Chain A
Amino acid sequence: MTAKLLLRYSPEALDRPILARVIRQTDAEINILHATLDAVKGEILIGVEAPPAEIEKLIHLLKKNGIDAKKLERAVELDEDSCLDCGACLSLCPTGALHAKKDYSVGLDEDKCILCEVCIPACPVRAIKITKF
């Protein structure tokens, strides 16, 4: 299972290689999906492929190093009944999470989604939704 973690860096944490150190202490495989850094804060969205216990350990280690790490309980959802299979979203999706299937219907690979939300307003029938729970 892939979990998505949002890591918020404070200015003091910005210049230390925390993520690299933490990764070496766990067996989790991580993938950086999205990152923004500026003078006052930093945010990194990572995808983690690991069993739940390992993910908890990762969160714990990050927090110990002063990073506000939070598991994202959001999911992107494609309402297949409403979807026109038009494809308007396809070329906007930066990761290929939204893709054309063999029969030209639109498919969504949730694991690849980085929750950038570009597709949400571009869908002509509002068939893509971000659910927060």
Chain B
Amino acid sequence: MKRTASLLMLVPLLGATQTLSAALGITLMLGAVLGVFAVCMSPLRERLTGTRALLASLILAATLTSCANIMAQRWLLSWQQTSELYIGLIALHCVVLEYHGAFREPVAVSFKRCALFGALMLVVGGLREIIGYGSLGRGLSEHWQGLVLFPEGLHLFTLVPGAFVLLGLLLAVRQAWTRRNSVIKETHRP
């Protein structure tokens, strides 16, 4: 059950994090839409049950995602055009998380999970930009070209397979770290 939701979260993590600014954009948008969705869904959940609750979450998710998409078009058009697919998918995230009851957990737990996921998005985005383009923070502001670290980067890491490789490496680092620090083998959580 939980695995479907985690796998679905992999999509923006791998697909929409070419640069730090892209990762920041999609993280903020995910956070905003999921937050408003959770707030709006809580009164509805008491009134509706079963299929009707799911239908309500579907309508709400579609509305919020379309509104967020229109606002992104209005103020961040160039970013919106590269991440359009992943913005549309946010609606699916909302519905799947709602279906698996992720919003019914205590606020502190889900907030911590969101913060961890956001931090992971930013780390992957930042590392992909450094390795793939040799710069950091490009496109964050119009007047700043970003921090140039290397003149050229590894093209692979600007593509989705590169993100997958990077995520694998990060998981390996984490595994090695936790093994060294504790004797207890930790079950690995994707």
Task: State whether these chains interact.
Answer: no
